[in-house]
C-alpha cells in the first residue's frame, strides 16, 4: 500500500499529502521533518501492533454511559516481539462522575495501575522518544553568568527560532496575528548572524564565519518571499489610507496579481533551497553549534565585565556612524533613502546586541532595548515605504499603455513618499528618547 499522510495544524483543517511508494512516507512529509532528520535517511524504528477489545456500559434504557478500550500492545523489530504492554482507556459518555469512579475502583481492584497518558508510539520507542532532544535549547542563566553562558544562550535561541519555523515555512503557515513563518525564520537568521558578529571575541572565528556565511545564504532565500509578503500587505494598507478617495480597484488588483506571482516564484525558489543538501548540512551544523558552541578563553570571564564593551561597538556605530554611513545622531533628513537604509542596518545590529544582554545586565539596558525597538520600527517603516514606492513605479512602467495603472501607481507612490516624510519628521524625537545619557551610561 502506498504511504499516505495528512498534516494537522491547530485551528486549521487537516491537509492531505501526496502518497509515497509502497511502504514509503510521502516526500512532502519527509521534507517537513528535515529540521529533525537533518538529511539522514529515514527507516522504520518500530512496528506497533494493537489488539483492542472494546466494552460498553449501558443503562436499562440502552443509553451509552461509559466506553472501555482494552488494548494489548506488542512492539516488533525485525518481525520479532521486543516488548508488550497493556493499556486500558476509560471514556465517559452519558454517565456521571460517580459511575466513572466506580469503574476506576473496579479496575484497580483487578490489578490496573493508574498512569498519565503516554502515546503508544512514545512508549514503544522508549528512550529515543523520551530522552533529551538533539537540539539543545537555551536554559535559565545563573544569577552571575559568565560571558560565554550569555552568548551560548543567545546562539541557542537564534538556532531554535530558525529550526522550529522550518516546517511552518514549508506549510505556508501563519504565525500568530499578522505574522508569517518566513518572517520569523528570517529574523532568526539575521539575529543569529548579528550575535555571532557582535560577540565575535567570545567565539572561535574559524567556527563562526562559515555559520554566518550559510545563514546569510538562507536569509537571502527567505528574503525574496518575505519582501513579496511585505509588499502585498503594504499595497492593501496604502490603497486603503483614504477611503474617501480610493485608487482604481482594477489597477490595485493588477498590482497585487503581479506581487502574488513574485511571491509564488520566491516560495518555489525557497522550497528548492530547503530541499537541498546545502540546507541539510546547515541544519546539521546549527544543531552541533547549539550543542557545543566554540568559545574563546575570554568567554570564561564574568558577563558584567565583558559584555558592555562588546555591545558598545555596534551601539557607537549606529549612533555616530562608520565607513561612510551616517550616525543616527546626525542623520540628514534630506539624505537619500539608501543612506537611511544603511543606518537602519546598523540600528538593527545595535538593537539585537542590547536585547541579547538586557536581561543579564539589567539597569538601563532593558529600557534602551525598548527604545531601540521604537527607533527600528520607524526606520523599518521608512524602508518599507521606500521599497514600495519604487515597486509601484516599476510595475506601472512595465505597461506604459495602461494609463489607469500609471495613475494608480502614481497615487500609491505619493502616499508612500508622504509616509517617508512623516518618518523623517518623527525620527529626531525617537532618537532623542533612545540616546538619553541615563540609558547609555553603562556602555563604555
Across the chain, which has 444 residues, the per-10-residue mean pLDDT values are 50 60 73 82 82 92 91 85 87 87 89 80 78 88 95 96 95 86 96 96 97 98 96 96 92 96 96 95 96 97 97 96 93 95 97 95 94 96 98 92 94 97 97 93 92
CB-CB contact of 194 with 158 (8 Å): no
Backbone angles phi, psi at 322, to 5 degrees: -170, 150
Per-residue model confidence (pLDDT) at position 167: 94
Q: From CA 280, how far away is CA 189, in angstroms rounded?
A: 15
CB-CB contact of 71 with 87 (8 Å): yes
Angle subtended at Cα 408 by Cα 404 and Cα 413, rounded to the nearest 5 degrees = 145
Per-residue model confidence (pLDDT) at position 1: 37
Are 255 and 343 within one domain? yes
Backbone angles phi, psi at 113, to 5 degrees: -120, 125
If one counts the domains in the chain, the total is 3
- Please give the grid coordinates belonging to residue 67: 466506553
Is position 141 within any domain? no
Are 267 and 385 within one domain? yes
Are 372 and 399 within one domain? yes
Are 115 and 153 within one domain? no
Q: In what order do the strands lie in the sheet with 47-58?
A: 47-58, 64-77, 80-92
Domain end among 130, 165, 195: 130
Per-residue model confidence (pLDDT) at position 13: 57
Is position 263 within any domain? yes
Are 95 and 6 within one domain? no
Residue 366: C-alpha distances to residues 142, 310, 362, 436 (Å): 18, 16, 6, 14
Are 325 and 193 within one domain? yes
Are 62 and 170 within one domain? no
Is position 38 within any domain? no
Are 55 and 151 within one domain? no
Classify residue 338 as exposed, middle or buried by CB count within 10 Å of its CB (0-12, 13-18, 19+).
exposed
Are 180 and 306 within one domain? yes
Return the SS3 of 70: strand
Are 69 and 177 within one domain? no
Radius of gyration, CA atoms only, the chain: 28
At 153, which CATH number?
Answer: 1.40.20.10
CB-CB contact of 350 with 314 (8 Å): yes
Q: Which residue has 510521502 as its cell numbers?
A: 26
Is position 39 within any domain? no
Per-residue model confidence (pLDDT) at position 134: 85
Angle subtended at Cα 282 by Cα 279 and Cα 283, rounded to the nearest 5 degrees = 90
Is position 374 within any domain? yes
Task: For helices 277-291 and 205-239, give the axis angle rounded to 10 degrees.
Answer: 110
Is position 153 within any domain? yes
Q: From CA 284, how far away is CA 428, in angstroms rounded?
A: 44
Is position 87 within any domain? yes
Are 98 and 27 within one domain? no
CB-CB contact of 255 with 408 (8 Å): yes
Are 24 and 100 within one domain? no
- Please give the grid coordinates belonging to residue 40: 539522514
DSSP 156-190: HHHHHHHHHTHHHHHTT-B-SSS-BHHHHHHHHHH
Classify residue 27 as exposed, middle or buried by CB count within 10 Å of its CB (0-12, 13-18, 19+).
middle
Is position 142 within any domain? no
Angle subtended at Cα 298 by Cα 150 and Cα 148, rounded to the nearest 5 degrees = 15
> Domain range for residue 97?
45-130
Return the SS3 of 324: coil
Amino acid at each position: 500500500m502506498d504511504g499516505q499522510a495528512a498534516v494537522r495544524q491547530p485551528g486549521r483543517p487537516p491537509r492531505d499529502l501526496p502518497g509515497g511508494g509502497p511502504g514509503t512516507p510521502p516526500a512532502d512529509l519527509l521534507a517537513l521533518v528535515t529540521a529533525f532528520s537533518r538529511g539522514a535517511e529515514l527507516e522504520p524504528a518500530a512496528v506497533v501492533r494493537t489488539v483492542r477489545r472494546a466494552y460498553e456500559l449501558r443503562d436499562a434504557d440502552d443509553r451509552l454511559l461509559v466506553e472501555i478500550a482494552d488494548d494489548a500492545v506488542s512492539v516488533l523489530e525485525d518481525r520479532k516481539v521486543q516488548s508488550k504492554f497493556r493499556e486500558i482507556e476509560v471514556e465517559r459518555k452519558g454517565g456521571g462522575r460517580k459511575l466513572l469512579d466506580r469503574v476506576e475502583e473496579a479496575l484497580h481492584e483487578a490489578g490496573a495501575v493508574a498512569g498519565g497518558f503516554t502515546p503508544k508510539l512514545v512508549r514503544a520507542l522508549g528512550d529515543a522518544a523520551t530522552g533529551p532532544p538533539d537540539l539543545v535549547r537555551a536554559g535559565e542563566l545563573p544569577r552571575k553568568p559568565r560571558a560565554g553562558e550569555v552568548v551560548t544562550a543567545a546562539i541557542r535561541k537564534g538556532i531554535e527560532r530558525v529550526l522550529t519555523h522550518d516546517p511552518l515555512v514549508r506549510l505556508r503557515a501563519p504565525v500568530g496575528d499578522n505574522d508569517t513563518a518566513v518572517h520569523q525564520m528570517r529574523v532568526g537568521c539575521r539575529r543569529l548572524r548579528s550575535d555571532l558578529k557582535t560577540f565575535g571575541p567570545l567565539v572561535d572565528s574559524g567556527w563562526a564565519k562559515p555559520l554566518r556565511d550559510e545563514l546569510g545564504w538562507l536569509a537571502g532565500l527567505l528574503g525574496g518571499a518575505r519582501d513579496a509578503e511585505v509588499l502585498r500587505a503594504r499595497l492593501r494598507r496604502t490603497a486603503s489610507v483614504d477611503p474617501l478617495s480610493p485608487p482604481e480597484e482594477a489597477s490595485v488588483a493588477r498590482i497585487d496579481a503581479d506581487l502574488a506571482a513574485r511571491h509564488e516564484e520566491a516560495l518555489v525558489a525557497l522550497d528548492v533551497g530547503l530541499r537541498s543538501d546545502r540546507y541539510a548540512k546547515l541544519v546539521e551544523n546549527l544543531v552541533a553549534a547549539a550543542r557545543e558552541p566554540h568559545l574563546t578563553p575570554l568567554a570564561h570571564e564574568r558577563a558584567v565585565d565583558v559584555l558592555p564593551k562588546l555591545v558598545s561597538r555596534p551601539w557607537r556605530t549606529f549612533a555616530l556612524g562608520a565607513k561612510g554611513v551616517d550616525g543616527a545622531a546626525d542623520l540628514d533628513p534630506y539624505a537619500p533613502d539608501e543612506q537611511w537604509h544603511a543606518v537602519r542596518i546598523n540600528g538593527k545590529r545595535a538593537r539585537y546586541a542590547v536585547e541579547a544582554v538586557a536581561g543579564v545586565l539589567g539597569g538601563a539596558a532593558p529600557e534602551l532595548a525598548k527604545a531601540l525597538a521604537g527607533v527600528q520600527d520607524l526606520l523599518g517603516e521608512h524602508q518599507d515605504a521606500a521599497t514600495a514606492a519604487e515597486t509601484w513605479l516599476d510595475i506601472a512602467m512595465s505597461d506604459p499603455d495602461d494609463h489607469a495603472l500609471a495613475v494608480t501607481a502614481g497615487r500609491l507612490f505619493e502616499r508612500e513618499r508622504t509616509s517617508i516624510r512623516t518618518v523623517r519628521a518623527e525620527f529626531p524625537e525617537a532618537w532623542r528618547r533612545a540616546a538619553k545619557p541615563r540609558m547609555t551610561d553603562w556602555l563604555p
